[in-house]
Amino acid sequence: MPPDDNRPPFFATNYIRFLGGRNTFFTLLILILIGLVVFIFREVSFIFNPLNVFMKTVVLPVVLALILYYLLRPVLRLLERFKIPRIWGILIIFLGGIGLLTLLSVLVFPFLRDQFQNLIEEFPDYFMRLLNNIDQFLRNSFVGDYYRDSSFNIEALIATLPTSIADTLQATVTGIIARVTSWISTITGVILSIVIVPFILFYLLKDGDKLPGYFLKLLPPRFRDDTREVLKDADKQLGAYIQGQLIVAFCIGVMVYIGFLIIGMDYALLLGALAMVTSIVPYIGPAIAITPAAIIALVTSPFMLVKLAIVWTVVQLVEGNLISPQVMGKTMYIHPVTIIFVLLTAGSLFGVVGVILGIPMYALLRVIVSHLYKLFKRRYNRYETNLDNQYDYTEL
């Protein structure tokens, strides 16, 4: 039989229209092309080894310089309001930073170092006393009979714990000696990166406001307005996060230190500094900071543990309801579940660096994706037909 010339085109059949028509096939084709590109790049990844080395060398000083830039930029702008030239303002900031580091190294760092050494020496004793307290509690509790009849012997564990710690330290030292060459090269790279940071920071403070303009000149005129908006929002997000997070972390450290001094907690300054550093990482940081404090408090006395819980609760309430809303505002609001998933994913992919930089990188990526989605909707709505005239929604 001759073919039916009245048959609908392939993309006009009911089944293909149900699947999405041409858009579905175009999407599948794009996914196949992306997979093919990923496969090809994976097979020739050795070509990009020099680029990987370059990125690993450059990323650390650039990230440190950017953090300092967003932290010091408001200070530089404040100095410019007092009619101080930019170069002189940068010089004042550098001299102030050197003076602050000198003051900390003379007054604070030696005390922190001594407290840290004492805590390292005494922490095994704290841990053994904690195990003894747990053992006594279990023996005198309602599960004491089952605990005594079990094969678990906490006294044997306590007896073998120093030997286990010594063996672990010996194995660690042996591993360090075996890897000393690679460690020396790594430490040398870190030191060189830190030395480079002031130079990068100087040019960022000097010409940082001009960099978006230089970048926009490289783009076609039709892309400049949208790119300018993306850069403006990204700058706002990163600035709000870095400045706000450091201010919040400092406030938490001060509150923890004062609270621990009030309740008479040992190593108050060291634990406050630990809380300040770890609070940069949301949710995970406070859990890390409270662990050694809880062990010390539990060994000291049960009442000390209660006082620790009160101090920590007050600090978290003040930070969550007063400090963070005032400092961070609504510009960096991210759902807690999203933060947890971002931290877990970034930590698995990039380790400690990923945990620290995961949230600002997610905020930056969110800005870019939201603007791309806005451009997509603008382009799509331009060609969208008026569906209100095609369907009668009153019958639904």
Neighbour count for residue 297 (Cβ, 10 Å): 24
Span 279-293, mean pLDDT? 79
User: Residues 11-24: pLDDT tens digits?
Assistant: 666 666 666 667 77
Q: Looking at residue 185, what is its pLDDT?
A: 54
Q: What is the pLDDT of residue 377?
A: 76
Please report which confidence band the pLDDT of residue 215 belongs to, taking 50, 70 and 90 as the band edges.
Answer: confident
Q: Which of 45-54, 105-114, 207-216, 315-324 has the lowest mean pLDDT?
A: 45-54
Taking the CB of residue 395, how many other CB atoms lie within 10 A of it?
5
Distance CA 381, CA 365 (A): 24
Q: What is the pLDDT of residues 119-133, one digit of tens each?
A: 777 767 776 777 777
Amino acid identity at 341: F
Tokens 């930019």 belong to: 86
**Residues 228, 212 contacting (CB under 8 angstroms):** yes
Indicate the range of 48-52, 138-142, 160-164, 247-251 predicted with least confidence.
160-164
Sign of the alpha-carbon dihedral angle for 271, 277, 283, 284? negative
DSSP 9: P
Quote the CA–CA distance of 327 and 314 in Å, as a whole number.
Answer: 18
Helices (H), the chain: 14-19, 22-43, 49-81, 86-107, 109-140, 144-149, 154-178, 180-207, 211-217, 221-263, 268-278, 284-300, 302-318, 324-327, 336-382
| Cβ neighbours of 255 (radius 10 Å) | 21
What's residue 92's pLDDT? 92
CB crowding 126-152: b at 16 or more within 10 Å, else e: bebeebeeebeebeeeeeeeebeeeee
pLDDT, position 16: 64
**pLDDT on residue 91:** 92
Contacts of 375 (CB under 8 A, 6+ apart): 226
pLDDT of res. 394: 45
The predicted pLDDT at position 274 comes to 87
Most confident of 27-36, 192-201, 374-383: 27-36
Nearest to 263 by CA among 214, 215, 297, 212: 297
What was the pLDDT predicted at 391?
43
Q: Which residue has the tokens 């940081």?
A: 285
For the chain, the average pLDDT equals: 75
The rounded radius of gyration (Å) of the Cα atoms in the chain is 29
Domain boundaries, the chain: 7-43, 53-110+140-209
State pLDDT tens for residues 64-79: 888 888 888 888 888 8
Amino acid at 39: F
Average the pLDDT over each of 54-58, 248-252, 308-312, 383-387 and give the range with the smallest value: 383-387
Burial class (CB in 10 A: 0-12, 13-18, 19+), 181: exposed
- Residue 28 CB coordination number (10 Å): 12
Question: Do 276 and 250 form a contact (C-beta atoms < 8 A)?
Answer: yes
pLDDT digits (tens, 9 = 90+) for 349-387: 777 677 777 788 888 888 888 888 887 777 666 554 444
Average pLDDT over residues 201-215: 84
Position 348 confidence tier, pLDDT thresholds 50, 70, 90: confident
pLDDT at position 153: 55
Look at 3-17, 262-276, 312-326 and tell me which has the smallest mean pLDDT: 3-17
How is residue 268 written in tokens? Answer: 């108050």
Average pLDDT over every residue of 233-253: 84
User: What pLDDT sits at residue 243?
Assistant: 82
